[in-house]
Amino acid sequence: MRKSDVIQLIFHRPPPTDPKHEKGLAFAPTNIALVKYWGKRDAELNLPMTSSLSIALPDKGAMTTVMLQDQAQETVIVNDREIPSDSEFVKRITQFLDLFRPEKKWHLNINIKMNIPIAAGLASSACGFASLISALNDLFGWQLAAHQLSILARLGSGSAARSFWTGFVEWHAGVQSDGMDSVAEPLSVEWPGLCVGLLTMSDKEKPISSREGMQRTVNSSILYTAWPKKVTQDLAILKQALHVKNFPLLGGTAESNALTMHATMLASWPPVCYFLPETIAAMQQIWSLRRQGLALYFTEDAGPNLKLLFLEEDIGAVKEHFPSVEVVNVFEKE
Ligand code: PMV
């Protein structure tokens, strides 16, 4: 099964690309997985081995504007800086756009504004691809539903499938080879007072892409066989925690899931390690604070930065111990 087959299944014809507006515009929030996606059962379609569950950061993410342009290639601008056309990022975007223009008849000016560090494990590719496909949907008037956009965004970056909703979102692994059942959906649960703290140790580009890291883990880590079992368990516990609003259960499950993911990576060869010394130091500080009674947990993605999990009542204490933390009160109403 190829990506072009998925396009056919969604549109049933070549995607219409007559612009309906002068510009297409869309925002997509970034999402932080509490139960992680790590490993693909199909690398072409970005079909995951397991389901995953995330929380969206409502105001953090990517705002993308697209306009047709009279040039033979794309112009990609991220945070007012033009990205070189031979860079990996622009190549990935170009390949993604090629799915919607088999004859390469049109090209875009793509302007992305992100308010999160790029490519440092803060899911910038997730909100990037989600906002790009939504902006195309706007420009060309496709009127696709969110679950269809989720399937299309996944073809650009797996975790982008989860970036179409606020709140908690589950991405179902699915079983079909065409991936039409590998779709994310929002969970109808809110948790007022739940906070995520962004603790940025480095905003440098990660040395090993998540694509490469996953592949290496699946192919060479003996611990990977335990991963699907761990995810199944953690998903059930996390949903229970959401249901009864048990914060230590949510925080502990998310932290243990992230550490297990990193353990499977470390057992790969060559090893996949996203920790910096500062990452470990922060973990130890969190464990020490927890022993002193603070309900503070963390999760970590494919980068050295930690995302702290805590409740609104502890914002002051968390800021006191981590002065540089950026706090997002996830369900706070404007
Ligand atoms: O979608 P990708 O290829 O950027 O992979 C994301 C992987 C993790 O962020 C580590 C986990 C996740 O579920 O988001």
Q: Mind spelling out the 3-state secondary structure of 210-279? A: HHHHHHHHHHHCHHHHHHHHHHHHHHHHHHHHHHHCCHHHHHHHHHHHHHHHHHHHHCCCCCCCCCCHHH
Query: What's the pLDDT score for residue 88?
Result: 85
Query: Is the model more confident about 115 or about 40?
Result: 40
pLDDT bucket at 206, cuts 50 / 70 / 90: confident
**Centre of ligand 1 from the C-alpha of residue 120, in Å:** 11
- 3-186 and 194-329 have identical folds: no
Q: Which atom of ligand 1 is nearest to the CA of 171?
A: 13
Residue 136: closest CA among 23, 29, 60, 59: 23
**Centre of ligand 1 from the C-alpha of residue 126, in Å:** 8
**Centre of ligand 1 from the C-alpha of residue 276, in Å:** 19
Here the contacts of 94-97 (C-beta below 8 Å, separation 24 or greater) are 96/129, 96/132, 96/155, 96/156
pLDDT bucket at 333, cuts 50 / 70 / 90: confident
Q: Is the CB–ligand 1 distance for residue 92 below 6 Å?
A: no
Q: Is the CB–ligand 1 distance for residue 301 below 6 Å?
A: yes
Give strand pairing partners of 6: none
Query: What's the pLDDT score for residue 120?
Result: 47
**Centre of ligand 1 from the C-alpha of residue 177, in Å:** 21
Q: Return phi, psi of residue 284, to 5°.
A: -65, -35
Q: Is the CB–ligand 1 distance for residue 52 below 6 Å?
A: yes
List the chain domain ranges.
3-186, 194-329
Strand 75-78 versus strand 107-114 pairing type: parallel
Q: Is the CB–ligand 1 distance for residue 33 below 6 Å?
A: yes
Q: Which atom of ligand 1 is nearest to the CA of 125?
A: 4
Residue 110: closest CA among 90, 126, 87: 90
pLDDT bucket at 121, cuts 50 / 70 / 90: very low
Rounded average pLDDT over 55-72: 95
User: pLDDT digit string (tens) for 6-42?
Assistant: 999 999 999 999 999 999 999 999 999 999 999 999 9
Measuring from atom 6 of ligand 1, which residue has the nearest CA? 159
- Give percent helix, percent strand, percent coil of the chain, each to the nearest 5: 40, 25, 40
Q: Which CATH architecture has domain 3-186?
A: 2-Layer Sandwich (3.30)
Q: Which residue has the tokens 């969206």?
A: 56
Q: Which of 79-93, 117-131, 276-290 has the lowest mean pLDDT?
A: 117-131
Query: What's the pLDDT score for residue 202?
Result: 82
pLDDT bucket at 248, cuts 50 / 70 / 90: very high
DSSP 6-40: HHHHHHSSSPP-S-SSS-EEEEEEEEEEEE----E
pLDDT bucket at 105, cuts 50 / 70 / 90: confident
User: pLDDT digit string (tens) for 70-88?
Assistant: 999 999 999 999 999 998 8
| Percent of the residues in the chain that have a pLDDT greater than 70, as a whole number | 98
Q: Which atom of ligand 1 is nearest to the CA of 31?
A: 14
Q: Is the pLDDT of residue 156 over 80?
A: yes
**Centre of ligand 1 from the C-alpha of residue 301, in Å:** 7
Q: Is the pLDDT of residue 204 over 80?
A: no
Q: Is the pLDDT of residue 57 over 70?
A: yes
Q: Which atom of ligand 1 is nearest to the CA of 301?
A: 10
Q: How far apart are CA 139 and CA 159, in angstroms?
A: 23
Query: What's the pLDDT score for residue 78?
Result: 92
Fold adopted by 194-329: Alpha-Beta Plaits (3.30.70)
Q: Is the CB–ligand 1 distance for residue 30 below 6 Å?
A: no
Q: Is the CB–ligand 1 distance for residue 37 below 6 Å?
A: yes
Measuring from atom 9 of ligand 1, which residue has the nearest CA? 301
**Centre of ligand 1 from the C-alpha of residue 229, in Å:** 18
Question: Which residue stretches of 70-208 are H helix?
Answer: 88-98, 124-139, 146-156
User: pLDDT digit string (tens) for 290-329?
Assistant: 999 999 999 999 999 999 999 999 999 999 999 999 999 9
